Chain A
Amino acid sequence: MAKRKERARVLSQESLAPGIYSMWIETGIADEAVPGQFVSLYSKDGARLLPRPISICQLEKGRLRLVYRVAGAGTEEFSAYGAGDGIEVLGPLGNGFPLEEARGKRALLIGGGIGVPPMLETGKALSGEDFAFVMGWRDGNLFLKKDFEAAGALFAATEDGSFGVKGNVLDAVRENGLAADVIFACGPAPMLRAIKAYAKEKGIRAWISMEERMACGVGACLACVCGSKDVDSHSHVHNKRVCKDGPVFAAEEVEI
């Protein structure tokens, strides 16, 4: 999985919900990436130097799909790109979900907010296994819902109750009586914190995908660290690098 920076080509761009976009790009990085990894996108504006890390939503031969939220001027710029535009991309980055841990077991793939997209390819990679998606959306803008339904059983929660269980993803797990041996999750910190506690209480093994402000994206600058139970391999303190050692960590391993 050699990392590379290359000029990719935008194949398509569409808005899935207010502020949420889906962009397919043509890049060889797709052929080396695994579910749960991410790529970094570079702005064409020289005043915006740092790459924007974005999770991989779907992988196909020679192309990948990014579903992302417009969070500032950089992602706003990306959302205006159309088919044929070039875009500088660095990847594949990070480790991805440990799929082998879910094989032959009951798995729950949980996503919340803009942590929803990476769970799609993770589920596709576990096709034929005993798993279910549990997705949490804010409201009735159920981006990627059809994609998830086509890839497996979907249970949902929305904050406003417009679809599925009213509440959060763990409310959906409880109300639907979903049992599991393994959880893979991506979402906001409060959700991951709750999943970590739930997994500990139930004796479930959980892996969570963490987020932190990044600069280099490859493990050199030590910006995006998270507190870890064990001594990390790089600095021999208790700070794992989200971009390189993660973004996916065993839940009990990291402080959140």
Chain B
Amino acid sequence: MPVKIGIPRSLLYYKYFPLWKTFFEGLGAEVEVSGPTTKAVVQEGVKLCVDEACLPVKVAFGHVASLKEKVDYIFIPRLVSVSPREYICPKFLGFPDMVRNSVHGLPGIIDTNINLYRREGDLYGQFLEAASPICRNPLKVAAALRSAVGELKRFNGRVESGMLPENAFRVQEEKFPFQAENRGTVALVGHPYNIYDNYINMNLIGRLDEARVRVVTADNVPEPVVNMYAGTLSKRLFWTLGRRMVGAAYHFLDNPRIDGIIHVASFACGPDSMTGDLIERRARRAGNKPFLNLTLDEHTGEAGVVTRIEAFLDMIDMKMGVDAGVGDWGLELGVGTQNTELRTQNSELRI
């Protein structure tokens, strides 16, 4: 019987799943992913986790709990740093310890430190440690890691070409999954585990898709572009995900093909409180695109989200009408083409 490794469908699953899956399968293990987030998963997570943690961490607890009886090991690496001189959120650094102290009846835990803070960070050594419960053959580990890194690169390429991670996991090649005919393009800016988890964000991407809106995310923006825009900050951001979000958002503000930006944050998220402010402030100064700030927590009500998305899309319609100069909205409101006031509308209510 092959060893069964459980991977929670949460946190950086949306960024690194192909790497982890290919790696463990290359070692001869079987990989089991927890199911999509459901109400039961959230409730279990809320029960196990401290109140003060953010929704994605609570959801991750729920996913870990849902795996604990099904697998031999749960893979929850301690993600210290995935990029030189950058960290992720402190909660990622303490996540394995938080789980160990709060969830009972756990199977084995693989919580290798993944730390690439220093440029010479030893990725191979770290994965050798992660592999140790399954396979101690260094050659096999090196081969598995090599093919896993290759798989991750191909996955990243698919995501950069415009695919959403969940689609990019499954398919090798596909046309852009959204309808081409659209009402405009909206950029979603937020942590991957918030914007791609359809349960916790109330199917935000699906709703936008239904409304014939094209969606792009920070992950669709190539790294050099992100870095160029993030480089305009007065100090380098030390959070990898935050740097990506800010860089991509600044790019979206500059990109005429983007008609509006939705910033998705979790309630009480530490990095978002800073990066969100940096983004919103620049969006307001530029004043050329509708900007919606959605805050998610386990109490978020669906109706509130729907109303706010509708209001936001109305703003996009108005803006496109104004930009085109002949839109119904422009005529109806008698604003003509010169009016810039409509463009600066900013929806900031919180749900």
Q: Do A and B make up one complex?
A: no
